[in-house]
Structure 1
């Protein structure tokens, strides 16, 4: 048994090391699984085909529509120029000198509007870089500022978030994406407020030391990053056959009125966004929020879902599917809305669909591979000892859920992967414990989601590595700020919310 536990620890260390050194998780996860199997004495081939792959396939089957539609939606928002228009509008409303807040709110708006987290990172960097240049803010703060907007409260705390991190708990606890809205809003205030206070403190501190925007050296900075470059790759300016055409495209921007005109490679106006129609780019985001809310709280509860008990549908409960169904419908409506608004340019949107399909593959299979790894580890005999140790740490259903999710998210460097691994292993036990203790399933949903978005951004996290690459910064330059806004304040929020639930219950 001791050898098996050693194997689990070594496999985790290997997974972290390989991921940190840049090996794709799709490859690293099976390799780490083999280490755990060898030390436990379990058959390797049978475990791979009968445990690892079914777990991987199960995650893809459940969440592929969300990853696919989210990637397509994000690319369409980029292709049409809506994403950049939203950023410019928010900046104009807040003021370019408030670059930190403008960057956070724009990133958060896109994330809460259903755009894939990685797509938002690619879209936001060039915009944030210009904002920071104008405001003369040290550019080492760009990664932390973007991270606060996309990796924290809009991903896990805000009620109704269409991100997969807010959907996964509902699959296990029978809750919806709007679970425990009061707790979610309080958590949002703590994370956003604390993060902004830290970033402002850092800005003043660095400037007081004499550091300015141009003083932070770039670590191979990406002058322009394009989502969907190959299979989740990063395209540098000047790369690829389309570089000349991309360079030929120009944009005129009036800093006083905020109006801008996108021009084609030939120099003729393609889309004019004047102050009178700045609302158009926001419509797809509003559609995602409105449709998700309507389906979850109004439409689905009013319909008869008795047929789900039929054998051909597996006897599933609506509560375990409503969250993902509502998000899928919302994203489809938003995509159709973009196409309807741009019906005369429908041909130019084709690339958004093809690139979106490509861009969705690596993220979902990376996460699914981590889930497969978790299933293999959970299958070895030594894991029972680990599971009992985790349950003994808490004793309370909410605390146990938070601890188990935090630990697995830290190990895998993934909020969605860590949460799925933890809930696959402990979900049924947590439900039973919650019922026995009279704990709120909605509170467990919200706390588990926020906890998953805490330790998931340790240095080996793929999301952190990608964000730093996009921004051209190193861990040494910018990780301190990423850690503060994405680890310290989410953990603080979970601790406060646990105390609130203990005193007042879920709301």
Structure 2
């Protein structure tokens, strides 16, 4: 009982630390210590072996994906391609539809393989312009970006190169396009419900007299729509994204999913350089910055996985595994519950999926349920409780945009926690009736 309470207390403390601005690395270490002490564990072994092994496993396995994803996002941004795509969406839908445009722009970039953290930096300037033009509260930018970066392109859309869509493939022997019917239906729900919610919040904000107010770090004078004339043609800008997606589908089933996505991102990087060479002020700097930008994102996520591995190796967590495997539910229901709880504990969809697949994936595979259904339900479920306040991605979003949990987390929580939980239930229903 004390061990279980220790895990719950550690989660509460790490969330509190996130609200107070603590970094993921010190917070994960201190909360790992709480788990160890309340479970009467060996402090040195738990930190130097369990924590480090979890950190090393994630960082080593997904190093290339993070580096190539960040580099692709960097060259897309440096060449003006990312902004060109966003401006095209703005021209098509109009400035008044700021929420829809930002959500679509973010979705296209993340589905094309652009790293989440790079997308945040790429889309944010455009979002400021559009939200200022529409006179919408800045705090809603966080939830709007969350729709495109933290929901359907991350977990549900077939063919997505996201890590959350690739982790299950390593254990279940599936591909990035697993369970296409389930994935497409849930993607439509996640996007539609997310946009509807944020738009309803925007209407309420206008009715309450709220307006756009830039933050102290937002230099609105430098964010001008006239810069669009200097950007590459949107069709040229969009080509590398199409190639990345096309190569992923071309290599489907022919090699390991991680290898296929790595090759696709590498091809996209090279093509972006070739098409926009003259637009790079310093091609080498873009290369160096892109690789460097991946490091902190990788380390923060790996630190959360390290905390999760400490939890994984204490008696309280082992008791949870026995409970999850012994649940008398349909395996898809049991899987969804287990993945959500672990993702909530670790504050990371990828971290939660990694731990679940390593500890319970093979057992669920032996239940006779379709591997594709197991893949898609696990992936979608990982996008629920992963976005609690202590999530590294949540903290990064708020830091970049100069907002606090108190100001913006409520709406982000609905978009990236509540709606994905409903999507998980929808996925389970589809899995039971059609797979």
Specify the TM-score bucket, using the shorter chain as the normaliser.
over 0.9
For 1:68-467, list aligned pairs within 5 A.
68-214=67-213, 220-223=215-218, 253=226, 260-261=229-230, 273=232, 277-297=233-253, 300=254, 322-344=256-278, 348-393=282-327, 395-432=329-366, 434=367, 438-467=368-397
Give the structure 2 partner of residue 234 of structure 1. Answer: none
Aligned counterpart in structure 2 of residue 483 of structure 1, from 403, 413, 417: 413
Q: Is the 8 A contact 1:221 1:470 kept in 2?
A: no
* Corresponding residue pairs, total: 435
Residue aligned with 1:439, SS: coil
Q: Within 2, Cα distance between the matches of 1:25 and 1:294? A: 37
Residue segments in structure 1 that go unaligned for 5+ positions in a row: 225-236, 238-246, 262-271, 301-317
Q: Within 2, Cα distance between the matches of 1:149 and 1:354? A: 27
Alignment CA distance shift 1:130-1:344 (3 Å): closer
Instruction: Identify, as 1 or 2, the structure richer in helix.
Output: 2
Alignment CA distance shift 1:139-1:348 (3 Å): same
Q: Is the 8 A contact 1:4 1:381 kept in 2?
A: yes
Deviation at 1:344, TM superposition (A): 4.4
Q: Is the 8 A contact 1:394 1:403 kept in 2?
A: no
TM-score by length of 1: 0.80
Q: CA RMSD in A?
A: 2.3
TM-score by length of 2: 0.93
Residue segments in structure 2 that go unaligned for 5+ positions in a row: none
Alignment CA distance shift 1:252-1:324 (3 Å): same
Residue range with higher mean Cα deviation, 25-34 or 61-70:
25-34
Q: Is the 8 A contact 1:111 1:155 kept in 2?
A: yes
Q: Is the 8 A contact 1:251 1:260 kept in 2?
A: no
Per-residue CA deviation, residues 251-281 of structure 1 (Å, 9 max, x unaligned), is 7728xxxx512xxxxxxxxxx53xxx33111
Residue aligned with 2:421, SS: helix
Alignment CA distance shift 1:66-1:195 (3 Å): same
Larger Rg, first or second structure (1 or 2) = 1
Give the structure 2 partner of residue 311 of structure 1. Answer: none
Deviation at 1:347, TM superposition (A): 6.7
Alignment CA distance shift 1:407-1:221 (3 Å): farther
Moved over 4 A (4+): 249-252, 344-347
Q: Is the 8 A contact 2:85 2:237 kept in 1?
A: yes
